[in-house]
Structures are given as C-alpha cells and as structure tokens.
C-alpha cells in the first residue's frame, strides 16, 4: 500500500459516507437494499480498519498513521488524527461491532429501516473519529456529534418511555462535555493558541488550574463511563433503547469516557490525577460494590445488565487510577472485553425480547427446554460476565485486582468482591430465566435461535474465548504506549 495513504481518514469517513448513502435511500420501499448496503458498508469499514492493526508498530509509543492538515486558521485548528496503542484496539472494537449491529437489526427493525441503519453507520464513523482525533476541537466535534444519532435511535425506535430516556441521555452527556469545552479553550489560551492535544500533554500547569481542569474533564468522562453517582442516565437509556442501540451504547459509547481519561485527564493533569487518585478509586469501588448490589435487585433483564455495566466500568476507572501498568493495561483489556460481553448480553436479551416482548425476569423460566442452543450461548456470556477464567471477563478483572494489591490490600479486597457479586446477579438471573420448568404458555411457544442469531452470538463467543485464552496480542499493542504514559506522569508539571 502507498506510503502516506490516508488510511485513518478512510476508517473514519467511509462508514459516514455509507451511512449517508443509506439515509438517501430514504423510504421503506426498498428495505432489502438498505440492509445489504449497510452490511456491505460496515464490513468494508471493518476490513479497511484491519491494516491499522497489521501495520501498527507496537514498539513505538508515539502516534502512528498521523495525518495533519489545517482545518481553520482563524483559531489554529487542525484536522489532526493519529492512533497509538490505546486508541487502536478501541477503533477495531468499534469497527467489529458495527456489522453485528446491522445483522442484529436485520429482521427486527421494520420501520424506517434506512434511517436506523444509516444512523448506526454514521455513528460508527464518528466514534472512530473520537478515538483518532489529536486536535481538541476535532475531538470535541466528534464527541458531541456522536450524541445526535444515538439520541435519534433511542427516541425513534425505543420503548414506551423513550422520550424521557433520550432527552436525559443527551442532556446528561452535554452537561459534562460543556465544562470540558471550557477546559479545552482554557488550555488553548494557556498554550499560546494551540488546540493540539499532544501540546497539552507537554504544557506545564500549576496545581489549582490542574485540579480545575481535571474536574472539568472528570465531569465529561465520568458521565460517559458512567461513574457513580452520575450513572443514572444509563439504565434508562439502556432499557428504552432498541437492542442495537443498547449494544452500541454498552460496547462502544461507554468506552469513550474511559478513553478520555487516558488521553486527557492523566497526561494533561498528572499532578492533579495523583492528588485525586484516592478519591477516584473510592468512587470506582462504590460503583463496583454498591452498583453490583443494585444489580442484584433488578427485575428487568436490561436494567440488570445496565447496572452490571456500570459496575464493570467501575473496574476500568479503578484500574486507571492505580497508576501502575498492570492497572491501566487491565483496565484497557476490561474495556475491550466488556465491549464483547455486554454487547453479547444485550443481544441475548434482545433475542428473548423479540420473541416475547418482555424484559421482565418474572415472565420467563425454563427457556432451556425450548431454546437449548440459545441457553448454551447465554451461559457462556453469563459466565464471562461474572469473570470466569478462560473468558475475556476474567483477564481484565484479574489484572486490575493484581494491580490493586500493589497499591492497597483493602482496595483489592473490595474490588475482588465483584467476583462474588458479578456471579450472583448474573447467574441468579440466568437461573431464573433459563432453568426450571417451562413457566407459561408464552415460553412454551418459543423457538430456538435462527441462523442469523446463531452467527451473531457465535462470532461474539469466539471473541470472548479468544481474548480469555490468549490476550497477548492485545496487551502487546498497548504496552509501549501505557509505559510511556506512566513515565510521562512521573514528571511533575508544576
């Protein structure tokens, strides 16, 4: 391939262009064309992202595949993209999930299909843009733009309370990001007129501004992750969103927050990060333990998985603020693995919901008698969600707990409680839904999964197992970058 080929731009813009074409098909008269076109588009989107992995040099800690052009001179803003070991796996995850979303919505979505699929494709490109941006304005543009398709997806194809959930989702996220915008503009002035994120990394800052900047970023990313106590939008959004929306939300959009911590908070305000690390760990542990308990009490399957997401993402923020390489690498593995597992869990609930139109645990029971293949898949993902060794869920959690032990035994003690809590809420739900005698006539009428659903779940099952058994390719990619980040953080900016 040509040197200097704008590969990264292709990865960002190709799904967006496909999305616009699908949107342009417009009406519901030709749903098959819209479906096939989006499938082809999303698969091409994944294929063009593969060279990012193959031609990535894991020994370098600098940005790769960099492209930089002037965007608008007046404020010295550049179209500046590039990836390192942190963003590359996330981009791949996103490109991997998108075709699955298209397949998941294949027969289920019947109204305004082209708008639905178009929105997902456009969002996929936008999210790639967030992960690849090295210019603050470009980053912010993509960051906020990602709200628009999700807002529409929840609001148009969502459940009965969708309007409330969609607006809550939008405003909550906007609340966080606006303060981040102020912080970014502040940095622009302090750095003497630069919007380059890499320049911000080198910028010396006094303690007070660092703490204020940290807090501004924290609000933006904490809402997105979401951390306790700003997590309340997530269960609402998950419950109301259509299956595809829930999958993207859990698998991809939550990762934006985690990514933000690594790209902004830690390197831009290292001293404040150190200073506030204990507070952050505390918030994360509350999320892990308390939200785990909340999940135990849920009657609605989607809500349960949503709370389990918050709890698992608590592990991610916990890992980041341990500020050692085991912690951060573990958190990164946890993010990728959570992308697979939560996506798969929501798809499983979607499979049940498409048949019975209920998400209440009480409406099910004895599903295994009617859907044995489905039950097997669901079992695997439930085990992965509770962190069974051999699945991807174990690797990240284990690494983070190991990292925590290095810092403080009691932190590790509470963090390890997730293994009990996670197993309790996931397996208890599994037991109530799947095992036992056939609960009612509706369950009696269930049919096992179709080929389409089988394929979806099989792909995810492979990913979960592969990452659980052999996570080395993933950790290898990010080692240099994370090592560099930690080294950067040891140098005080004061």
Q: Which residues bind another protein (CB under 8 A)?
A: 26, 71-75, 112, 115, 137, 140-141, 144-145, 147-148, 151-152, 155-156, 162-163, 166-167, 170-171, 174-175, 178-179, 181-182, 185-186, 188-189
Is 89:112 a contact under the CB 8 Å cutoff? no
Cβ–Cβ < 8 Å for 439, 364: yes
CB 51, CB 85: distance < 8 Å: no
Q: Where are the alpha helices (DSSP H) in 158-194?
A: 162-190
Nearer to another protein, 137 or 288 (CB): 137
CA 96 to the chain's CA centroid: 12
The phi, psi pair for 67, rounded to 5°, reads: -130, 135
As measured in angstroms, the least distance from the Cβ of 140 to another protein is 7
Least distance in angstroms from the C-beta of 427 to another protein: 37
Give the residue with the Cβ less far from another protein, 27 or 440. 27
Which of 442, 456, 283 lies closest to 367, judged by CA? 442
Based on CB atoms, which residue is closest to another protein, 36 or 186?
Answer: 186
Nearer to another protein, 115 or 404 (CB): 115
Q: Report the residue number, 78 or 263, with the smaller CB distance to another protein.
A: 78
Q: Minimum CB separation from another protein for residue 82, in Å?
A: 20
C-beta of 74 vs 451, nearer to another protein: 74
Cα distance between residue 88 and residue 378, in whole Å: 29
Q: Exposure of 32 by Cβ count < 10 A (0-12 exposed, 13-18 middle, 19+ buried)?
A: exposed
Q: Do you know the residue count of the chain? A: 494
CB of 233 to another protein, least distance (A): 14
The rounded distance, in Å, linking the Cα atoms of 456 and 474 is: 22
Class of residue 80 by CB neighbours under 10 A (exposed 0-12, middle 13-18, buried 19+): buried
Question: Which residue, 36 or 164, has its beta carbon nearer to another protein?
Answer: 164
* The CA-based dihedral angle spanning residues 123, 339, 354, 455, taken in that order and rounded to the nearest 10 degrees: 100
Output 133 or 334, the one with its CB closest to another protein: 133
CB of 397 to another protein, least distance (A): 36
Closest distance between another protein and the C-beta of residue 116, in Å? Answer: 12
Closest contact distance (angstroms) between CB of 163 and another protein is 5
Q: How far is residue 415's CA from residue 251's CA, in Å, rounded to a whole number?
A: 22
β-bridge mates for residue 64, sequence order: 83
Q: How far is the CB of 75 from another protein (least distance, A)?
A: 7
CB closer to another protein out of 155 and 235:
155
**What is the chain's alpha carbon radius of gyration, rounded to the nearest angstrom?**
22
Is residue 80 within 8 A of residue 137, CB to CB? The reply is no
Nearer to another protein, 60 or 206 (CB): 206
d(CA 127, CA 59): 26
CB of 34 to another protein, least distance (A): 13
Task: Give the shortest CB-59-to-another protein separation in angstroms.
Answer: 36
Non-local CB neighbours of 464 within 8 Å, separated by 6+ positions: 337, 340, 341, 344, 380, 381, 384, 391, 392, 393
DSSP state of 436: S
Q: Which is nearer to another protein, 193 or 473 (CB)?
A: 193
- For residue 264, the SS3 value is helix
Rounded to the nearest whole angstrom, what is the least distance from the CB of residue 131 to another protein in the complex?
Answer: 17
DSSP state of 263: I
């Amino acid at each position: 391939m040509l040197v200097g080929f704008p590969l990264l731009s292709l990865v960002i813009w190709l799904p967006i262009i496909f999305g616009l074409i699908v949107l342009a098909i417009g009406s519901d008269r030709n749903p098959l064309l819209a479906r096939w076109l989006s499938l082809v588009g999303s698969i091409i989107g994944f294929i063009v992202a593969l060279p990012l992995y193959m031609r990535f040099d894991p020994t370098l800690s600098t940005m790769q595949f960099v492209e930089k052009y002037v965007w608008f001179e007046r404020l010295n803003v550049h179209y500046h993209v590039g990836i390192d070991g942190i963003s590359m796996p996330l981009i791949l995850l996103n490109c991997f999930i998108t075709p699955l979303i298209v397949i998941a919505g294949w027969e289920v979505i019947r109204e305004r299909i082209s708008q639905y699929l178009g929105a997902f494709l456009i969002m996929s490109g936008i999210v790639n843009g967030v992960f690849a941006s090295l210019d603050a304005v470009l980053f912010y543009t993509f960051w906020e733009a990602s709200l628009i398709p999700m807002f529409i997806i929840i609001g148009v194809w969502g459940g009965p309370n969708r309007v409330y959930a969609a607006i809550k989702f939008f405003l909550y996220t906007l609340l966080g990001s606006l303060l981040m915008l102020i912080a970014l503009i502040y940095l622009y002035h302090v750095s003497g007129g630069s919007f380059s994120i890499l320049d911000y990394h080198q910028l010396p800052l006094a303690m007070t501004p660092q703490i204020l900047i940290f807090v501004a970023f924290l609000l933006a990313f904490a809402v997105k992750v979401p951390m306790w106590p700003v997590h309340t939008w997530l269960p609402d959004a998950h419950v109301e969103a259509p299956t595809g929306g829930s999958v993207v939300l859990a698998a991809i959009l939550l990762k934006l927050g985690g990514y933000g911590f690594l790209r902004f908070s830690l390197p831009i305000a290292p001293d404040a990060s150190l200073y506030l690390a204990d507070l952050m760990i505390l918030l994360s542990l509350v999320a892990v333990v308390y939200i785990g308990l909340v999940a135990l009490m849920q009657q609605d399957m989607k809500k349960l998985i949503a709370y389990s997401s918050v709890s698992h993402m608590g592990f991610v923020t916990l890992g980041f603020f341990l500020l050692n390489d085991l912690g951060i690498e573990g958190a990164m593995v946890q993010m990728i693995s959570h992308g697979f597992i939560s996506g798969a869990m929501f798809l499983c609930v979607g499979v049940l919901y498409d048949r019975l139109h209920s998400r209440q645990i009480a409406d099910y029971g004895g599903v295994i008698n009617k859907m044995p293949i489905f039950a097997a898949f669901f079992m695997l993902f439930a085990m992965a969600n509770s962190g069974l060794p051999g699945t991807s869920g174990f690797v990240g959690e284990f690494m983070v707990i190991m990292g925590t032990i290095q810092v403080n035994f009691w932190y590790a003690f509470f963090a390890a409680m997730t293994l009990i809590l996670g197993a309790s809420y996931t397996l208890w739900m599994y037991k109530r839904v799947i095992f036992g005698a056939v609960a009612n006539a509706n369950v009696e009428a269930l049919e096992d999964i179709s080929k389409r659903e089988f394929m979806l779940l099989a792909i995810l099952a492979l990913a979960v197992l592969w990452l659980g058994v052999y996570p080395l390719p993933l950790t290898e990619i990010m080692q240099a970058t994370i090592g560099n980040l930690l080294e950067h953080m040891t140098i005080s900016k004061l």
